[in-house]
């Protein structure tokens, strides 16, 4: 099973890095951009100077099937409203995902007030509306536009990243599930997602 997923990921995405490459591109994890339930995200730079976001997963003792599932699912996507996966690292228990860098961070910081600073950056209503439309288009693509349907299960402001033009991009496919395009419903044995945002 894992070898099949791994083979599919390699066929679609041929940029595999060693953990030493990850350390070098992040300058030994110097600039942390954020944290989620699966690991930390760090600013990095490829050899050609391109800025990237490197998601370093917590060390895991499993066989890596969930990780390679995320690599395989997002590596086959290509949409203006879905973040692009540029590479990955799978060195035994060391795992990382290399994404395009989103200079404006997540949508979360533009719609929630910072409790410590008592301030929030805000976007005009027109831009927020464009974000809603963009996320909707991204979800429609994941559900209908891919060869394999991808159900995200954790759409929330924290997982919507904004590029330099504030164009929204869906990110964080850790809880995603691949489904056949012929299936009309998805059966789940357990709840997936963040409380308050869990898909019905």
Residuewise pLDDT in 10s, the chain (200 residues): 445 544 544 444 558 899 999 999 999 999 999 887 778 999 999 999 999 999 998 876 666 766 776 787 777 788 999 999 899 998 888 899 999 999 999 998 888 765 554 445 678 899 999 999 999 999 999 888 877 778 887 888 988 999 999 999 998 877 767 666 565 555 555 555 555 555 55
- CA Rg value for the chain: 17
| pLDDT 10s digits, 124-151 | 899 999 999 999 999 999 888 877 778 8
- Beta pairing, strands 16-17 & 85-91: parallel
3-class secondary-structure state, position 24 = helix
What's the number of domains the chain is made of?
2
Q: Of 96, 12, 17, whose CA–CA distance to 60 is shortest?
A: 96
* Whether residues 93 and 113 fall in one domain: no
Looking at the domain assignment, is residue 188 inside a domain?
no
Distance (Å, whole) CA 12 – CA 34? 27
Q: How many C-beta atoms lie closer than 10 Å to residue 39's C-beta?
A: 18
Instruction: Render 111-133 in DSSP notation, one character per residue.
Output: HS-BTTTTB-----HHHHHHHHH
Contacts of 86 (CB under 8 A, 6+ apart): 15, 46, 52, 98, 99, 100
* Whether residues 15 and 74 fall in one domain: yes
The chain-wide mean pLDDT, for the chain, equals 79
Percent of residues in the chain assigned helix, strand, coil, to nearest 5 = 30, 25, 45
Looking at the domain assignment, is residue 191 inside a domain?
no
Q: Is 154 a catalytic residue?
A: yes
Take residue 156 and report the two structure tokens written for it: 């929330």
* Whether residues 91 and 136 fall in one domain: no
Instruction: Please check whether residue 86 is in contact with residue 100, taking contact to mean a CB–CB distance below 8 angstroms.
Output: yes
**Which residues span the domain enclosing 69?**
2-100
| Residue in 21, 66, 154, 172 annotated catalytic | 154
* Whether residues 32 and 86 fall in one domain: yes
Looking at the domain assignment, is residue 197 inside a domain?
no
Q: Of 56, 59, 53, whose CA–CA distance to 33 is shortest?
A: 53
- Give the Cα-Cα-Cα angle 194, 72, 156 (nearest 5 degrees): 20
* Whether residues 125 and 154 fall in one domain: yes
């Amino acid at each position: 099973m894992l070898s099949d997923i791994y083979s599919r990921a390699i066929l679609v995405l041929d940029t595999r890095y060693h953990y030493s490459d990850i350390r070098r591109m992040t300058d030994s994890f110097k600039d942390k951009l954020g944290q989620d339930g699966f690991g930390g995200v760090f600013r990095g730079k490829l050899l050609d100077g391109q800025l990237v976001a490197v998601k370093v997963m917590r060390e895991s003792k499993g066989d890596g099937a969930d990780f390679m599932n995320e690599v395989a699912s997002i590596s086959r996507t290509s949409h203006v409203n879905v973040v692009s996966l540029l590479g990955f690292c799978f060195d035994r228990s060391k795992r990382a995902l290399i994404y395009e860098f989103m200079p404006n961070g997540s949508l979360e910081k533009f719609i929630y007030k910072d409790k410590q600073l008592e301030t929030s950056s805000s976007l005009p209503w027109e831009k927020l509306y464009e974000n809603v439309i963009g996320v909707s288009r991204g979800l429609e693509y994941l559900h209908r536009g891919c060869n394999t349907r991808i159900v995200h299960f954790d759409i929330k402001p924290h997982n919507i990243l904004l590029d330099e033009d504030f164009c929204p991009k869906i990110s964080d496919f850790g809880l995603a599930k691949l489904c056949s395009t012929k299936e009309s419903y998805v059966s789940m044995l357990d709840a997936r997602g963040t409380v308050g945002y869990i898909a019905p």
